[in-house]
Amino acid sequence: MNDRHLNIDEIASIKNKFYFKQDKKYRLQHPDEDIPMESEPSDEESDLSIILYKDKEHYQDLDGNIYEITKDNQMGILVHKSC
């Protein structure tokens, strides 16, 4: 999977999904704050998601493998292989 090249729409979709989850988590932890709503992420599904791993954003595939995110938002090296 390391040779995969992500297109700009897929990168945006993955990032939107991650930030939507982060926003939801924040709103649950701060119910009394008035926070403006952002638009929903696109319906386009990806087999990748963004997770926080060792305090940095990484891609995670459906098998649980974790990859670095390169400066151009592509999949970098495999940093954790799931069992």
pLDDT band at 68 (very low <50, low <70, confident <90, very high): very high
pLDDT digits (tens, 9 = 90+) for 6-63: 888 888 888 888 888 888 898 899 888 877 666 555 555 678 889 999 999 999 998 9
pLDDT of 81 reads 94
Q: What is the DSSP letter of 1?
A: -
Q: What is the pLDDT of residue 65?
A: 95
Instruction: Return the pLDDT at 79.
Output: 96
50-77 exposure pattern, b = at least 16 Cβ within 10 A, e = fewer: beeeeeeebbbbeeebbbbbeeeeebee
pTM of this prediction exceeds 0.85: no
Tokens of 83: 């069992």
